[in-house]
Amino acid sequence: MDVYLRRSLRGSSVPLEIKNKQMEYIELIHSKTRNAYNLAADKYHDLFHNEMNEKEYDRNLLNTFASKLPKGALICDAGCGPSAHIGKYLSNKGFKVTGVDISERCIQLASGFNPEMSFKCNDIAKMDFEDGIFDGVISYYSIIHTPKKMVNTLFNEFSRVLKPVGYLLVAVKFGEQEGIINQLIGMDTEIYFTLFALEEIEDYFNKSNFKLDFIEKRNPYDFEIRNERIFAFGKKL
């Protein structure tokens, strides 16, 4: 049996056949994510690699999240993108950050931009890490490419790689829509996009055995896509 499936079935009553079908569906959807970001990675990096300089809210949030972690903590930047600029912000504060992304081009760019960080090209639904090795996981706009009915799989994987009482930080865009769209930052490509409600994010945390410490919605900055954002973090129980 696949190592990921063995881990995900611990304490689960979901039949293996259904687990297999769920993972096949996620892999199909995430293959679109890989293709889209391989195409758009260079443009995405050009547009966003310095955006943290303009986002005081996000910097303050990351500072608060970082204050929950031990000095020199191990952090997984799950879905780091081509710049890994969220992980870089924490790496610059002395944390040991590993960026993970499904796109080969994203990993190539991010590793060149951040030589002080380590990187793995993995699907965040089944990462190539042992159980309980990270003090923190950050998922900044990475679960937005997975259908809502499958997002619990990602939360369970984040929980798996976290140490006991490790912390998870999630950022998403607010709304109701989900489905395949045909463009990413102005480039023609298929990719799945999901918007979330506050209650849905709360539910994912609760169902994946996290104690939610913080959840808040903010308006977009003038230079951002015109969606409100949801930010949440919590501790693994």
Give me the residue label for tokens 């005081």: 56
Tens digits of per-residue pLDDT, 172-212?
A: 999 999 999 999 999 999 999 999 999 999 999 999 999 99
pTM of the predicted model as reported, rounded to 2 decimal places? 0.91
C-alpha distances out from residue 74 to 88, 161, 233, Å: 13, 11, 16
Looking at CATH, the fold of the domain delimited by 3-236 is given as Rossmann fold (3.40.50)
Tens digits of per-residue pLDDT, 55-74?
A: 999 999 999 999 999 999 99
Domain range summary for the chain, segments of one domain joined by +: 3-236
CA dihedral 31, 206, 177, 224 (to 10 degrees): -80
